[in-house]
A and B are shown apart, each in its own frame.
Chain A
Amino acid sequence: QSVLTQPPSVSAAPGQKVTISCSGSSSNIGNNYVSWYQQVPGTAPKLLIYENNKRPSGIPDRFSGSKSGTSATLGITGLQTGDEADYYCVTWHSSHWVFGGGTKLTVL
């Protein structure tokens, strides 16, 4: 059981917007950066967001991140079928890096 809580699944139609939450505590999210990763089945995770809201080069601005208090949120607009994947949040907690349990995004 992770110290970071994510919804197991979310879904939305193509072209729509979806948000994925990551809930933690003052011991992790509340005082540290959050990063987000996309993992398409059968492939390695890919960094989408770092330092709460920054995108690496090559990541489209359809992906956004935010943090408030002890929670973080990943937003995806203009959903595409290629966005179907598992999404994970990561942060620092008690001298370790921890992953959230993951959220499976289905694009209906």
Chain B
Amino acid sequence: EVQVLESGGGLVQPGGSLRLSCEASGLTFRNYAMSWVRQAPGKGPEWVSALTDSGGTYYADSVKGRFSISRDDWKNTLYLQMNSLRAEDTALYYCTKGPSSDAFHIWGQGTMVTVSS
């Protein structure tokens, strides 16, 4: 069974940094694209960033230049480095397997990021 497990969330002050991790199991990690999707309290999901199996990266306009996605295929782990955090980055951050066929097939339970002074 394919599973992903996020970690690294927490409370951070505006302007601060945080690194999220996502450990995957049950799949040959290096063969798949992986993404981050976030959901602010009471709002719908918002795609944040994707990293393809070939290393291509994509970012939402709202995080471009501040967030960086990366992966360690030896550790089956996906990362999201978040810098210059803003209050509007407050959200539950989900790690997902995909996109594959333009869909996000597997989702973790999320890790909460709160940006507040």
Contacts and interface: CB of A to CB of B under 8 A. Distances in A.
Contacts of A101: 44
**Most chain A C-beta atoms within 10 Å of own C-beta, residue among B35, B61, B103:** B103
A96 B47 contact: yes
Interface of B: 35, 37, 44-47, 50, 58, 60-61, 94, 99, 101-110
A92 B108 CA distance: 22
Contact of B58 (A34, A50, A96): A96
A99 B44 contact: yes
Interface residues of A, number: 28
A100 B47 CA distance: 11
A101 B102 CA distance: 18
Contacts of B110: 44
Given A86-B44, A96-B47, 19 more contacts: A2-B44, A34-B102, A35-B101, A35-B102, A45-B45, A45-B104, A47-B105, A47-B106, A47-B107, A50-B105, A51-B101, A90-B47, A90-B102, A91-B102, A92-B102, A96-B58, A97-B35, A97-B47, A102-B44
Contacts of B103: 33, 35, 47, 50-51, 90
Nearest to B99: A97
A46 interface: yes
Interface in A7-54: 32-35, 37, 39, 44-47, 50-51, 54
Contacts of B102: 32-35, 50-51, 90-92, 97
Q: Tell me which of A39, A44, A51 has the highest count of chain B C-beta atoms within 10 A of its own C-beta.
A: A44
A45 B99 CA distance: 14
Given A32-B102, A33-B102, A47-B105, A99 B94 contact: no
A3 interface: no
Contacts of B60: 96
Contacts of A95: 58
A56 interface: yes
A46 B47 contact: no
Contacts of A96: 47, 58, 60-61
